[in-house]
Amino acid sequence: MAIELAKNLPMGGGVGGGSSDAATVLVALNHLWEIGFDNERLAELGLKLGADVPVFVHGHAAWAEGVGERLVPVDFPEPVYLLLQPEVAISTAEVFKAPELTRDSPVITIAGFLQTGGRNDCEPVVRRRYPVVAGALDWLGRHGPARLTGTGSCVFAPMTDAMHAAAVLADKPGEWRGWVAHGLNQSPLTARLQFERQFGPG
């Protein structure tokens, strides 16, 4: 058997593309081969592949604790985002090993996150070590509250609507790649499987 992947997400951008791909394969093969594993069993398998695979297996936005395996489903707002990728590759391992990376951040609650947007402790490290990413954060920050995706290299900000996002995207510096993305609480794969269980393949 061969699996072909048409990937539209940036490689090494910190947006969870590889974890989503891994989860999709687990969920899809479980369905196609009629193995019968529930999502908890699939998530347990997925955790061995990556800390954020379980959330993609469950297919719903969630609050994650532990290393990513303890999940509480949450219906977050679903805004339009502008995602930019500066031309730089960032080593996640290097950022995690950085001596200046803080390890004593206070615990944040779901309510606190929804109110403040949370924080990314990796962002100050990446800013200092990768000036091009700092520049992208500063530029995008003029159009919305810009954040770093994971350890980067992508940066993102919510936009008021798709037209606004497209206008900002058209004005970006030419050396950066960019995408307009819509937030989703439920993955398309989960919705498709629910449809098939109810109405059959189609």
Domains and CATH numbers, the chain: 17-74 (3.30.230.10), 80-182 (3.30.70.890)
Report yes or no: 60 and 186 within 8 Å, Cβ to Cβ: yes
Cα 32 to Cα 143: distance, rounded to the nearest angstrom:
44
**pLDDT at position 49, please?**
93
The residue whose two tokens read 């695979």 is 53
Q: Return the number of other C-beta atoms located less than 10 Å from residue 118's C-beta.
A: 11
Looking at residue 127, what is its pLDDT? 96
Residue 199: the pLDDT is 84
Q: What is the pLDDT of residue 117?
A: 77
**pLDDT tens by residue, 86-96:** 999 898 889 99
For residues 162 and 25, give the distance between their C-alpha atoms in angstroms, rounded to a whole number: 30
Model-level pTM? 0.85
Largest interatomic CA distance in the chain: 54
Assess contact for 154 and 13: CB atoms under 8 A: yes
pLDDT, position 92: 87
Residue 14, phi-psi category: left (phi > 0), alpha (psi -120 to 50), beta (remainder): left
CA distances from 115 to 13, 76, 103, 148, 201 (A): 26, 11, 23, 18, 41
Residues of the chain with pLDDT under 50: none
